[in-house]
Structure 1
Amino acid sequence: MSNLTRLPGIFGIFLLGMLQVLVWGGSFFLMAVMADPIMKETGWASQWVYGALSLSILVSAVLAPLISRLIARYGGRLVLASSGLGVAIGLFMMANATSLPFFLLAWAVIGIGMALGLYEALFATLGSLYGERAGAAITGITLISGFATTLSWPAVALLIEYVGWRSTCLAYGLMLVLTVAPLYIWVLPGGSVSLTKKDALYDENLSINQRVYWLLTMIFALGAVIMTAISVQLISLLQGQGYSLAAAIGFSALLGPSQVGSRVLQVFSRKRHPIWTTLISVVFVAIGLLIVTIAPATTALGLVLYGAGNGLRAIVRGLLPLTLMSPTHYVLLMGRMARPSLIGQALTPLAGGYFLQAWGAGSVLAGLSSLAVLNVILVLFLLQLVRKQHHHPSR
């Protein structure tokens, strides 16, 4: 198989995007609509039910570097194909959970499926197959997967209303078993095209610019923490700013369209170096959060800017390391770089809930704004390093 293996066509990219929608919807985003009926039926405390999601993210964080190494050595098609079965087994266990420990175990299994099938594994697979040419596919896939909550939340909520949450878990798991593996095997070629076996086995210890590596890791981790905090607590934060529940929900609805809109614009800006997309992303996030914090009367504008910046974040996670690393490093390090982000995401709901109760909405928003400004500074440092590398390339 040659390095000139063709990228998936438009239909293939659409299918890869929809597969991401399915796996995200059955794992990371599931609890948003399923937690309430679970708590009502079982009587389990909310911290345990939501804590199950944190557990699954931690499991995913622990496994992420191992998954990257497996993809580098053996290719990612079978890894991605197995993700549907992993999440499905967890959902089947969840449907039959009558005790809290077994429920938590089910979510630990779902965490294994998340490690096998979410963005990091997919990006590493595309990098191993297509090298730098993977950028076009990553942009298209993230555009489609941006509709994950828009599609999965209403569908899951409707199923819960008619058949209950346990039968919904069974139905969703069955759908994953029937669709994920066959479609991944059909769309993606086998093997690891851009990496030779020798590369995959021995190139892990080759030198890489440590400042670039750590800056990327910190930038992605801060972005993940901010995104998780806003996703979990935005409505409560806006209510703390004086808005009614209806107004807070209305403002929150602005995020989806602005995120997808910024990804559509990115499709037409592929020739721009991803460092500039990264800078635009973090600046929009910072300005948006500062507006919401300092000028609540213009919250709508702030959330549109934040949404646009956060929409670019998913693309940047795939594209920026792809341009700053060799294909071998990209595949091997995607999982390792993801670990701090995932750990941060797992801990953010717990920490955010504590700070919101102890300090209030204004202080939490100010803290998130400070993290966003710090991320702008880190990206500016990275921009300087990228410019130096271009002017004085190593080797």
Structure 2
Amino acid sequence: MSLPTSFPDRMPWGFVSALSLTQLVSYGSIFYAFALFIEPMGQELGWSKSALTAAYSLALASSALSAFPVGRLIDRGHGRAVMTGGSVLAAVLLAFWSRIESYPVFVLIWIGLGISMSAVFYEPGFAVLARRLGARLARRGITVMTLVGGFASTVFIPLTHLLIDAFGWRGALLGLAAFNLGICALFHAIAIPPLARPKPGIAPTGAPSAAGNPRHLLRNPSFWCFVATSIAQGMISTGIPLHLIPLLIERGFSLDAAVAAFTVIGPAQVAARLAMAVGERSVSIWTLGILTMLFSVLAFALLPFIPPGSWLIAVFAALYGASNGMVTIVRALLPPELFGRENYGAIQGMIAMPVRIAMATTPFAFGALWAWWGSYGIVLAVLLALALCSLACFMLNLAFARRVRT
């Protein structure tokens, strides 16, 4: 495996800004915009919401299966080809989607978009950043990337809504395809360095324990603790967007109050990431991780006891939003400390595989639990259990790390 032989002394802001912008566009146009196409597509084509969302779930599954090979390619220096190719693939598939008439073809398009997700979302972006910046600057670069990417829904949900109003859903998809081709593919091709080969006589560097194939981590209990933490937090972050508003309405909140609470989550997410950026030199990643998991536990321990109309619902939303904003950065920065800096992309892919599969099943599972129990009471219990599980597994990881150091 080839590694860069030197890292920049100063932050290359052009490179970081370009990758951050592409994250905003990729997440906004592929991940968040989908919800706005469900209604017009259902009306024109007669497809049910469950059929449409099933294709989306299959995309998350295909993304999970392709995460590891994508990470290996980035570790071998092919980050430019992977991310540029992923954006071109997204653009082509969005254009095909705009002409869709057949449901099986629609499913195939979304399976392909899942592969594109694995090549352009946070995990490959983190791997490319870490490879380019090195350990000293990677934390700041990743924080900036997630800070900018956190505005994806804020920008692209209203933008996609305007495009659908102006050009119809098929025309809007062509517009999103143009964003992926004209911004993401172009910036990936220009900003990401080409394949770097080691100079003669210079051996690759990195943690010896992580050298070679990273599958040896499958025998490491610390790895599975980290995966369990990531799965629990991933399920929470996928289930809440779809179920929070009906959950609050069922508990007696008005629609306006539920929507207002939901809107607090985004700013809290961004504020937490800003705080992490400001305090990056004074707070360890372990401390940030503990705070992340604690905020999640506090949020879901508080939620069942909030009476309708209480201002405490904003406290819940702020705690959950802060936790959700911080966990992305913790998941990016902690693996090198736990498992070494070699094979960063492949390790992120190994973690992403089970996480994305769990995320793909969560919306349906929460809905099934609601139907079985007859209310969201059981879902609230599961959310708290997931938060507690993430905290417990994170603390186990901390114990493993201290044992290794001593």
Superposed CA deviations along residues 53-80 of structure 1, whole A, max 9, x for unmatched, are: 1011111001001101111123312211
Question: 1:75 aligns to what?
Answer: 78
Q: Does the 8 Å contact 1:215/1:382 carry over to 2?
A: yes
Alignment of 1:231-380 (within 5 A): 231-271=241-281, 272-296=283-307, 297=310, 298-359=312-373, 360-380=375-395
Determine the structure 1 residue equivalent to 2:114: 111
Q: Does 1:387 align with 2:391?
A: no
Q: Is residue 43 of structure 1 aligned with residue 46 of structure 2?
A: yes
Write the deviation string for residues 346-378 of structure 1: whole angstroms up to 9, x where unpaired: 111111111122221122112111110111111
Matching of residue 203 in structure 1 with residue 212 in structure 2: yes
Aligned to 1:91: 94
Partner Cα separation in structure 1 for residue 230 and residue 197 of structure 2: 27
383 and 48 in structure 1: CA distance in 2 versus 1, 3 angstrom threshold: same
- Structure 2 counterpart SS, 1:328: coil
Greater Cα shift, 73-82 or 168-177: 73-82
The alignment status of 1:149 with 2:144, answered yes or no, reads no
User: Is the 1:204–1:328 Cα contact (8 Å) retained in structure 2?
Assistant: no
Between the two proteins, what is the percent identity of the paired residues? 29
Give me the whole-angstrom Cα distance separating, in 2, the residues matched to 1:7 and 1:337: 30
- Is the contact between residue 89 and residue 110 of structure 1 (CA under 8 Å) also seen in structure 2? no
> How much does 1:89 deviate?
1.6
Q: Distance between the aligned counterparts of 2:370 and 2:339, measured in 1?
A: 39
Equivalent pair of 2:75/2:343 in contact (CA under 8 Å): no
Q: Give the structure 2 partner of residue 59 of structure 1.
A: 62
How far, CA to CA, are the matches of 1:251 and 1:193 in structure 2? 51
Structure 2 Cα separation of the partners of residues 345 and 112 of structure 1: 16
SS for the counterpart of 1:327 is coil
Q: How far apart, CA to CA, are the structure 2 residues paired with 1:306 and 1:169?
A: 32
* Matching residue of 1:21: 24
Q: How does 1:102-141 map to 2 (within 5 A)?
A: 102-133=105-136, 134-141=138-145
Query: Which residue number in structure 2 is paired with residue 2 of structure 1?
Result: 5
Question: Aligned-pair distance for 1:126?
Answer: 2.1
Structure 1 residue identity aligned to 2:264: L
Deviations 1:207-249 (A, max 9, x none): 5571221111111111100100001211111111111222111
Q: Distance in 2 between matches of 1:15 and 1:364?
A: 40
Secondary structure of 2:346's partner?
A: helix
Farther-moved stretch of structure 1 (206-215 vs 278-287): 206-215
Of 170, 175, 179, the residue aligned with 2:179 is 175
Q: Do structure 1's residue 100 and structure 2's residue 103 form an aligned pair?
A: yes
Question: Does structure 1 retain, via aligned residues, the 8 Å contact 2:19–2:125?
Answer: no
| Pair 1:198–1:91, CA change in 2 (3 A) | same
Native 8 Å contact 1:290 1:302 kept in 2:
no
TM-score, normalising length: structure 1: 0.93
User: Which stretch of the first structure deviates more once superposed, 151-160 or 284-293?
Assistant: 284-293
Deviations 1:129-153 (A, max 9, x none): 3332322110111011110100010
- Partner Cα distance (1:196, 1:259) in 2: 41
CA gap of 1:206–1:25, structure 2 versus 1, over 3 A, is closer
Equivalent pair of 2:214/2:347 in contact (CA under 8 Å): no
Alignment of 1:181-220 (within 5 A): 181-191=185-195, 203-205=212-214, 208=217, 210-220=220-230
* Distance in 1 separating the partners of 2:8 and 2:215: 26
Distance 2:78 2:140 in 1: 20
Q: Secondary structure at the residue paired with 1:74?
A: coil
Task: Give the gaps of 5 or more residues in structure 2.
Answer: none
Q: Distance in 2 between matches of 1:231 and 1:116?
A: 24
The farther-off stretch of 77-86 and 204-213 is 204-213
| 1:160 alignment partner, one of 139, 161, 164 | 164
Contact 1:83 1:180 in 2 (8 A): no
Gaps of 5+ in 1: none
SS in 2 for 1:239: helix
Per-residue displacement from partner, 1:5-57 (whole Å, max 9, x unpaired)?
45653343232211101111121212222211111211101101111110111
Give 2:36's aligned amino acid.
V
8 Å Cα contact 1:31/1:50 also seen in 2: no
The count of residues paired between Structure 1 and Structure 2 equals 391
Q: Mean Cα displacement is larger for which, 93-102 or 355-364?
A: 355-364
Contact 1:8 1:187 in 2 (8 A): no
Q: TM-score normalized by structure 2? A: 0.91
